[in-house]
Chains A and B, each alone.
Chain A
Amino acid sequence: MRTGRKKLTIPYLLPAVSLYLIFFVGPAIYGLWISFHEWSGFTDDMKFVGLKNYGKILVDPIYWQSFLNMMLILFVGGIFVFLIGFLFTALMSQGVAAKKAIRAIIFFPQIIAPIALAVVWNYLYRFDIGFFNSILTSIGVNPINWTGPNNIMMSAIISIIWYSAGFYAIILLAGVDKIPNTIFEAARVEGASTFKIFTNITLPLIWDVMSIAIILWGINAIRLFDFLFAFGGAEPPTRMWNTAMYQFILGFGQRTPIYQLGYSSAIAVTMVMVVLLFVVTGRKLFKREVYEL
């Protein structure tokens, strides 16, 4: 159909494709290659060790701790983000006062720099003069050690839920808003309860949007780095590292320089595999007949 109009194909694609190859595809493949080596990063001593780094991952308690933290964010965080997201969606599609303003406000935390959020939340959680403990003590409850070793991960996840839930609620809401009002009205006339309307009408009709939102959450949750890294303070304790943090620290060091570029690359590869696994199973699980309007 567009015969004779092909001379631009290559020049228009070339910048994008070459940038993508040089700065994304190439590095990704090279990263896989590095993961089969032991390497401190100092050019000449790169040593091929095959799958040794992957074997090391299997028995590395810090890796599994970080993996657990990654999973906590992904699943515990995810469940709450979507529970709250659905609740807000249901309420807002029913109609609430000042819907537009509320929509704008609950969305906003998502676009604040995560470093700034980490600074602020860390302060809200302070044991002595933080926000939460000042509320607790004023109602006569013992203060909670929010950033204590047993709580810090949960506290971080609460903050992550706080700044994410609004965003996902609004993605879902965008799906709901596409459903014609007449369908809801018809259902109400027939006496269906709010819950029934939600499960039998809304959910099937936004199924597609929801599955994409969940996959998006998965990708973001697995690679989450900046908020947690800054939330941990000057020297984030190992027990709150997620895999992304562990990967970064092994590659770039913090105060104590650690240079295990091969091992760090192997960990990055496992993260890619987790993402792929999540996306693929997610697609399988959510695959179902889409209701066309």
Chain B
Amino acid sequence: MKSNGGNVWSALGKTFLYVWTLFILFIIGWIILASLKTNRELFEGFWSLPDSLQWGNYYTAWVQSDLASYFFNSLIVVSLSVFGIVLVSAPAAYVLSRYHFFGREFLTNAFVIGIGIPYQAVLIPIYLLLIKMGLINSFLGLIIVYIALSLPFTIFILTGFFQSLPSDVEEAAIIDGAGENTIFWKVMLPMARPGLVTVMILNAVGLWNEFLLAKAYMNVNEKYTLSVGLYQFYQSMQYNSDWVSLFAGVVIIVFPILIFYLWLSDKIIEGMTAGSGK
């Protein structure tokens, strides 16, 4: 080692990393604790502790403030969207990566450009389109928009996956006389499963947290997704200052992601970094 300076810096850096990590854990712990206080306890100060745990806050958030129905709205919208995204993207990505036809490059590039276009560019036009189609305030409308706007990214990743698959299995299937459909559904798709899982995870997490489109296109309470519902809850809490129930709502929206993450953290991290690292 040339100098001790390097060590000091490295020790400082490590301390910073540990503090950063602990702070994240602390914040998560604090939110959970805050969601179990009474409002009075909460306002006593940041470090106050609850006398007894107020599980009733969760009842207020879940039942009285309708987060339950928003939760299920999100569940329906996200699961159907993710399913639709894969159903539409996988065949397209397959053809784009393994077939040769006129305009293939162009189409692939046309999809890739979509990744960089901010949603703001289509926010108002899609709104008008949904109105024309009678799909405003409708889950179906939101799901279709989610599917369409997720295509560029999903096709981009899946194309990469299909490209990396070996062609000998495919060729063997052709020799066996399998039809094109069979080859895709029975041979190639199962081989691309890791890719499919990746895009499903990425889209599920992204859409669960999505706010802008749902806020713009879902105007009535009964159709709110959890993000919009929590935002609305935040707004209304400002009129009656029930912060503890709001924190319960925060826990409710983060909880499924947390469970999902504890279960699949490697997969999620890998998917999200691979997705952007491509």
Which residues of chain B come closer than 8 Å to A84, judged between CB atoms? 20
| Per-residue contact bits, chain B 39-73, to A (CB 8 Å; 1 contact, 0 not) | 00001111100000000000000000000000000
Given contacts A20-B114, A114-B209, contact A272 B121 (CB under 8 A): yes
Closest chain A residue, CB of each to CB of B251: A116
Once the chains bind, are B124 and A2 in contact (CB under 8 Å)? Answer: no
Once the chains bind, are A22 and B148 in contact (CB under 8 Å)? Answer: yes
Write the nearest CB–CB distance from A171 to chain B, whole angstroms: 5
Which residues of chain B come closer than 8 Å to A94, judged between CB atoms? 10
The residue that B45 contacts in the complex, of A34, A107, A129, with Cβ under 8 A, is A129
**Is residue B91 within 8 Å, beta carbon to beta carbon, of the partner chain?**
yes
Chain B: interface residue total (CB-CB under 8 A): 97
**Is residue A275 within 8 Å, beta carbon to beta carbon, of the partner chain?**
yes
Once the chains bind, are B227 and A113 in contact (CB under 8 Å)? Answer: yes
**Which of A8, A13, A24, A92 has the most B CB atoms < 10 Å from its CB?**
A24
Once the chains bind, are B117 and A115 in contact (CB under 8 Å)? Answer: no
**Is residue A76 within 8 Å, beta carbon to beta carbon, of the partner chain?**
no
Once the chains bind, are A102 and B17 in contact (CB under 8 Å)? Answer: yes
**Is residue B36 within 8 Å, beta carbon to beta carbon, of the partner chain?**
no
**Is residue B161 within 8 Å, beta carbon to beta carbon, of the partner chain?**
no
Which residues of chain B come closer than 8 Å to A111, judged between CB atoms? 205, 209, 257, 261, 268
Which residues of chain B come closer than 8 Å to A271, judged between CB atoms? 118, 120-121
The residue that B95 contacts in the complex, of A12, A114, A166, with Cβ under 8 A, is A12
**Is residue B81 within 8 Å, beta carbon to beta carbon, of the partner chain?**
no
Write the nearest CB–CB distance from A200 to chain B, whole angstroms: 15
**Is residue B145 within 8 Å, beta carbon to beta carbon, of the partner chain?**
yes
The residue that B6 contacts in the complex, of A11, A103, A193, with Cβ under 8 A, is A193
**Is residue A16 within 8 Å, beta carbon to beta carbon, of the partner chain?**
yes
Once the chains bind, are A28 and B125 in contact (CB under 8 Å)? Answer: yes
**Is residue A248 within 8 Å, beta carbon to beta carbon, of the partner chain?**
yes
The residue that B88 contacts in the complex, of A16, A110, A244, with Cβ under 8 A, is A16
Which residues of chain A come closer than 8 Å to B155, judged between CB atoms? 16
Once the chains bind, are B122 and A106 in contact (CB under 8 Å)? Answer: no
**Is residue B250 within 8 Å, beta carbon to beta carbon, of the partner chain?**
yes
**Is residue B139 within 8 Å, beta carbon to beta carbon, of the partner chain?**
no
Once the chains bind, are A113 and B230 in contact (CB under 8 Å)? Answer: yes
**Is residue A139 within 8 Å, beta carbon to beta carbon, of the partner chain?**
no
The residue that A34 contacts in the complex, of B101, B124, B149, B274, with Cβ under 8 A, is B124
**Is residue B129 within 8 Å, beta carbon to beta carbon, of the partner chain?**
yes
Which residues of chain B come closer than 8 Å to A265, judged between CB atoms? 124-125
Complex Cα gap A136–B169 (Å) = 65
The residue that B253 contacts in the complex, of A113, A129, A130, A223, with Cβ under 8 A, is A113
Which residues of chain A come closer than 8 Å to B17, judged between CB atoms? 87-88, 91-92, 96, 102, 106
Once the chains bind, are A252 and B88 in contact (CB under 8 Å)? Answer: no
Complex Cα gap A96–B16 (Å) = 12
Which residues of chain B come closer than 8 Å to A261, judged between CB atoms? 124
**Is residue A240 within 8 Å, beta carbon to beta carbon, of the partner chain?**
no
Complex Cα gap A28–B123 (Å) = 9
Per DSSP, chain B at the interface is helix
Complex Cα gap A1–B99 (Å) = 9
Which residues of chain A come closer than 8 Å to B208, judged between CB atoms? 113
**Is residue B25 within 8 Å, beta carbon to beta carbon, of the partner chain?**
yes
**Is residue A213 within 8 Å, beta carbon to beta carbon, of the partner chain?**
yes
Given contacts A17-B107, A106-B24, A119-B250, contact A114 B124 (CB under 8 A): no
Which residues of chain A come closer than 8 Å to B254, judged between CB atoms? 112-113, 116
Once the chains bind, are B92 and A226 in contact (CB under 8 Å)? Answer: no
Complex Cα gap A250–B2 (Å) = 59
**Is residue A268 within 8 Å, beta carbon to beta carbon, of the partner chain?**
yes
Which residues of chain B come closer than 8 Å to A276, judged between CB atoms? 116
**Is residue B181 within 8 Å, beta carbon to beta carbon, of the partner chain?**
yes
Given contacts A119-B250, A261-B124, contact A96 B14 (CB under 8 A): yes
Which residues of chain B come closer than 8 Å to A2, judged between CB atoms? 98-100
Complex Cα gap A115–B212 (Å) = 11
Which residues of chain A come closer than 8 Å to B24, judged between CB atoms? 105-106, 108-109, 166
Once the chains bind, are A219 and B261 in contact (CB under 8 Å)? Answer: no
Given contacts A105-B24, A116-B230, A226-B227, contact A31 B121 (CB under 8 A): yes
Closest chain B residue, CB of each to CB of A132: B46
Given contacts A91-B13, A102-B21, A225-B211, contact A264 B230 (CB under 8 A): no
Closest chain A residue, CB of each to CB of B30: A131
**Is residue A233 within 8 Å, beta carbon to beta carbon, of the partner chain?**
yes
| New A-B pairs, 8, CB < 8 Å, besides A226-B209, A265-B124 | A13-B95, A13-B107, A106-B21, A108-B261, A115-B234, A131-B30, A134-B45, A222-B118
Write 5 A-B pairs (CB below 8 A) sorted by A numbering.
Answer: A30-B125, A31-B122, A31-B125, A120-B250, A252-B216
